Structure 1
């Protein structure tokens, strides 16, 4: 997973990064609330770890800003020296998913993170996923729209599945290359743009089918659920009245 850590003490940040890297996770660390928020709102992370007491704002303020500005429920863990019941309740009420007291115990921290990752993607083990008129069979690797099977390449299928499983979330080109193509982030990102343009046409991502791929300028893409336009019987009623 890609994890963002808010921790102003350099030694502690390095320790947590080492624990997570040893378990195969990538962790970026930030010492202030402003630098953390700037990264989280402009990049793609799978999970956030917050300290409470930081120089420029509180971890609670950071959490509230994350919940107010992100369009998907990213998992958030508090890791802090504050461990009173009232502190825990306040953090959970503000939108935290879990709460741990420092110092971090490596095995417990990783176990909590893995548990949150599983809960944040409850459809991961399902064979058939349904999103409006789209039906995705993860075993047969097929996608149907209104019951009709679509003709897609293997990469188109992988990209479509990742988009739907992360709808509402900003997905940077670098993240898509990493998760869908398995490539390093310094590869030419035009590959992603080409596939996205093709998917818009092949999947029929339009208001009639309830979804669209929105391009986020200089950042990436986001799959959004939208309401289909309603048909108004106004013309018929006017004809009847006449």
Structure 2
């Protein structure tokens, strides 16, 4: 599954470098030229990884990072990509909440490897086993089908992708743009009613309700979240 990455840097050359390597690897990159814009973006969008320059207009990378750690329940992995190389700066970046610290300039292949590693550590990449079990729900990733109590539920391809995406991200708010990019291959709002209609069908066909352990909730002004009502295992 592609990774959705936000990068904020006031150096267009760096933005182009990161965007080129991510798109070439099949991922999505959304670029911002200042800290204020990326801060506003992470308030309303879902990203698998956020890469920040330290010194930017609007807000510094450290300020954006600190705000996210204090105000987002489950923040995405953050990587500092900066020319500041002193040990004190590296320690400050990591202590503020960054999961990695990359000193510019850096090879494109290394940057890609760091981003993909951060996404894996953030558990945003679904595992590749054939079967995944969630209470009475089983996902068959080879046959692309859902089974509930052992009975196959007929879903369209897009409905299956949506359902699997929610189960892979239980309790994680997913923005509309993220859902579009992961299922339809674009972050553009192709039609709000298209997404709402598909989610309504997934809810209905899979009987997602508290009695069955899972519910897709609307997060107003943002997107949706799959909540679990299963008791934790002892």
TM range (shorter): 0.7 to 0.9
What secondary structure is seen at the aligned counterpart in 2 of 1:143?
strand
The answer to whether the 8 A contact 2:48-2:124 is kept is no
2:205 matched to 1:175? no
SS class of match (2:38): helix
Q: How does 1:221-236 map to 2 (within 5 A)?
A: 221-226=224-229
Whole-angstrom CA distance in 2 between matches of 1:208 and 1:37:
38
Task: Note the residue ranges of structure 1 that are not aligned, 5 or more in a row.
Answer: 229-242
1:224 Cα deviation (Å)? 2.2
**Is 1:205 equivalent to 2:208 in the alignment?**
yes
Matched, 1:185 2:188: yes
Residue matched to 2:222: 219
Structure 2 residue corresponding to 1:13, chosen from 5, 15, 36: 15
Separation in 2, partners of 1:227, 1:7: 42
Kindly provide the CA deviation profile for residues 49-70 of structure 1, in whole angstroms up to 9, marking residues without a partner as x.
Answer: 0112233443223113223333
- Which SS does the other structure have where 2:55 is aligned? coil
Q: Is the Cα contact below 8 Å between 1:177 and 1:189 reproduced in 2?
A: no
Distance (Å, rounded) in 2 between the aligned partners of 1:122 and 1:43:
17
TM-score (norm. length: structure 1): 0.80
Q: 1:160 offset after TM fit, Å?
A: 0.6
Q: Is the 8 A contact 2:68 2:75 kept in 1?
A: no
- 1:106-153 deviation digits (Å, cap 9, x = unpaired): 111112112233443464212221223322121233323344443333
Secondary structure (helix, strand or coil) at the match of 1:213 reads strand
Match of 2:57 in 1: 55
Aligned length: 228
Question: Are the structure 2 counterparts of residues 193 and 8 from structure 1 closer, same or farther at C-alpha, using a change threshold of 3 Å?
Answer: same
Query: In 2, Cα distance between the equivalents of 1:183 and 1:96?
Result: 28
Q: Please report the RMSD computed on the Cα atoms of aligned residues, expressed in angstroms.
A: 2.6
Aligned to 1:232: none
Judged with a 3 Å threshold, the aligned counterparts in structure 2 of structure 1 residues 53 and 198 are, in CA distance, closer, same or farther, namely same
> Greater relative contact order (Cα 8 A, min sep 6): structure 1 or 2?
2
Residue number in structure 2 paired with 1:87: 89
Q: Secondary structure at the match of 1:3?
A: strand
Q: Runs of 5+ in structure 2 lacking a partner? A: none
Instruction: Find the structure with the greater CA-based Rg.
Output: 1
Give the alignment's TM-score, normalised by structure 2.
Answer: 0.82
Distance 1:122 1:14 in 2: 24
1:23 & 1:136 partners in 2: Cα distance? 27
CA distance in structure 1 between the aligned counterparts of 2:15 and 2:156, rounded to whole angstroms: 42
2:110 corresponds in structure 1 to: 108
1:77 corresponds to 2:79: yes
Contact 1:214/1:223 (8 A) holds in 2: yes
Superposition pairs for residues 128-147 of structure 1, below 5 Å? 128-147=131-150
